[in-house]
């Protein structure tokens, strides 16, 4: 799934807009060639032993956490405290689970090794364990990388335009809408964080709209599990089927797990970590592409260099660097060159920052605070050429639409 980069399209130079907080935003005018030429050649080197080391390290963490939990939590006398301990264990276990998810993501981008067959084999096994359709998501995710920040071609977390927002709220003008309450925002974020990933796989929610599927049941035709889904090309058909076989294989593994060890064992050692792994994925990706400072582009003003810059690097401390393999801290570079392995991405990021200058977006704000802020501020986009986030909550720059 390495992204093929061609020469940047011609776009308007010196293009400005106001971001959500009223700060001046200038669209990048450098070329993709400028960025790529700054990256040291050694950053592209992929090592099979190094990549496998991180896979086995994640698996070792999973086994170690499981061993400690199994031998300590049952000793807790109070059943309520024991329940809290199992939940805490499930959340902790979701961290290395997310790690192996990220390593499968490396495989999909061909950043794991120089061998396509090895990348796809490892990625298929790791993603299938977490009920992710490897090839299906690889193809849709590849399209996301090729059109990041493009309003009509991007594939995930595509914000509604003001017109689409009004249509969803079933109003003719924004003036008909009252501000969302904090409770409403909290509810929406909770649904997004705990169920958003599965719903995305099932219906392509947050992707491009599919107006041909208007009923509740028909929207499942856009599923990542449907080989004939509009998100795929005809050539992808049998790879989507292979992804579905991976899902069925994992369901069989879970069935055997249940038969031999019982439902509770599956619940605490797989299902709860799986739920929170899904949360981390949405948490990470939503905040990589939804921020008060980030633009989205209409076709006439989009090119690859601008789209790749329409994302943000954040800081998530030890968890981000150790368990999540720097997927949060080096995401901008990842959008410029997705085949660079994560363990070389810090050096690559340092190099491209010199070219990007003010256009390199980084934040060390607490990510939980940012999640809340993005939920409140980032409801829809408006503008000409460059579209920036706006909201009906009276926060930041008011929308020009009425």
Instruction: Give tens-digit pLDDT for 295-323.
Output: 999 999 999 999 999 999 999 999 999 99
In tens, the pLDDT along 11-56 reads 999 999 999 999 999 999 999 999 999 999 999 999 999 999 999 9
- Give buried/exposed letters for 38-72 (b at 16+ CB in 10 A, else e): bbeeebeebeeeebeebbebbeebbeebbeebeee
Exposed (0-12), middle (13-18) or buried (19+): which is 125, by Cβ within 10 Å? Answer: middle
Residue whose tokens read 């107006």:
211
90-109 residue pLDDT tens: 999 999 999 999 999 999 99
- Site of tokens 């490892």: 122
Residues 118, 122: Cα–Cα separation, whole Å? 6
pTM of the model: 0.95
Domains in the chain: boundaries: 45-295+365-390
Q: What is the DSSP string of 329-390?
A: TTHHHHHH-TTS-GGGHHHHHHHHHHHHGGG--EE-S-HHHHHHHHHHH-SEEE-SSEEEEE
Q: Is 296 helix (H, G, I), strand (E, B) or coil?
A: strand
Residue pLDDT, tens place only, 337-380: 999 999 999 999 999 999 999 999 999 999 999 999 999 999 99
Quickly state the pLDDT bin for 5 (edges 50, 70, 90): low
Length of the chain: 402
Contact 204, 210 (CB under 8 A): yes
Distance, CA of 203 to CA of 199 (rounded, Å): 6
Token pair, residue 310, equals 């329409």
What's the CA gap between 168 and 187, in Å, rounded?
17
Q: Within a 13 Å sphere around the CA of 154, how many CA atoms are in the beta-carbon half?
A: 25
**Chain segment 108-149, per-residue pLDDT in tens:** 999 999 999 999 999 999 999 999 999 999 999 999 999 999
Neighbour tally for 179: CB within 10 Å: 13
Angle between helices 367-377 and 182-203 (to 10 degrees): 90
Residue written as tokens 């335009």? 161
The span from the CA of 361 to the CA of 353, in Å, is 9
The mean pLDDT value of the chain amounts to: 96
Angle subtended by helix axes 116-129 and 79-108, to nearest 10:
160
Number of H helices, E strands in the chain: 15, 7
Q: What is the pLDDT of residue 402?
A: 84
pLDDT in tens, 181-207: 999 999 999 999 999 999 999 999 999
Q: What's the rounded mean pLDDT across residues 65-70?
A: 98
| Per-position DSSP letters for 169-206, written without gaps between them | TT-SSGGGPPPPPHHHHHHHHHHHHHHHHHHHHHH-TT
358 by Cβ neighbours in 10 Å (0-12 / 13-18 / 19+) ranks as exposed
Given a contact cutoff of 8 angstroms between Cβ atoms, the answer to whether 374 and 20 are in contact is: no
Pair of tokens at residue 90: 């499930």
End-to-end Cα distance, the chain = 42
Query: Whole-angstrom Cα distance, residue 145 to residue 307?
Result: 9
């Amino acid at each position: 799934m390495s992204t093929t980069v061609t020469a940047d399209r011609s776009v308007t130079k010196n293009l400005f807009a106001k971001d959500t907080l009223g700060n001046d935003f200038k669209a990048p005018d450098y070329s993709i060639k400028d960025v790529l030429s700054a990256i040291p050649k050694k950053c592209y080197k992929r090592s099979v032993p190094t990549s496998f080391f991180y896979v086995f390290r994640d698996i070792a963490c999973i086994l170690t956490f499981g061993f400690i939990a199994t031998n300590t939590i049952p000793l807790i006398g109070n059943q309520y405290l024991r329940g809290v301990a199992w939940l805490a264990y499930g959340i902790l276990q979701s961290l290395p689970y997310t790690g192996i998810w990220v390593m499968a993501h490396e495989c999909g981008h061909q950043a794991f090794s120089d061998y396509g067959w090895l990348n796809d084999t490892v990625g298929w096994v790791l993603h299938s364990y977490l009920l992710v359709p490897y090839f299906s998501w690889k193809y849709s995710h590849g399209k996301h990388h090729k059109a990041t920040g493009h309003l009509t071609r991007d594939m995930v977390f595509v914000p509604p335009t003001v017109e689409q927002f009004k249509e969803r709220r079933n109003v003719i003008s924004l003036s008909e809408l009252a501000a969302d309450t904090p409770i409403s925002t909290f509810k929406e974020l909770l649904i997004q964080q705990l169920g958003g990933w599965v719903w995305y796989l099932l219906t392509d929610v947050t992707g491009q709209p599919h107006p041909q599927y208007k009923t509740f049941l028909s929207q499942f035709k856009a599923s990542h599990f449907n080989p004939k889904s509009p998100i795929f090309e005809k050539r992808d058909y049998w790879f989507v089927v292979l992804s579905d076989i991976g899902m069925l294989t994992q369901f069989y593994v879970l069935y055997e797990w249940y038969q031999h060890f019982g439902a509770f064992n599956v619940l605490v050692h797989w299902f709860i970590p799986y739920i929170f792994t899904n949360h981390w994925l949405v948490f990470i990706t939503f905040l990589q592409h939804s921020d008060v400072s980030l633009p989205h582009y209409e076709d006439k003003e989009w090119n690859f260099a601008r789209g790749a810059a329409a994302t943000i690097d954040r800081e998530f401390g030890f968890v981000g660097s150790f368990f999540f393999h720097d997927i949060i801290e080096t995401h901008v570079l990842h959008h410029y060159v997705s085949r660079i392995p994560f363990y070389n991405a810090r050096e690559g990021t340092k190099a491209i920052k010199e070219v990007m200058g003010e256009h390199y977006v980084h934040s060390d704000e607490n990510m939980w605070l940012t999640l809340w802020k993005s939920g409140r501020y980032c409801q829809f986009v408006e503008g000409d050429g460059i579209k920036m986030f706006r909201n009906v909550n009276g926060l930041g720059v008011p929308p020009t639409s009425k």
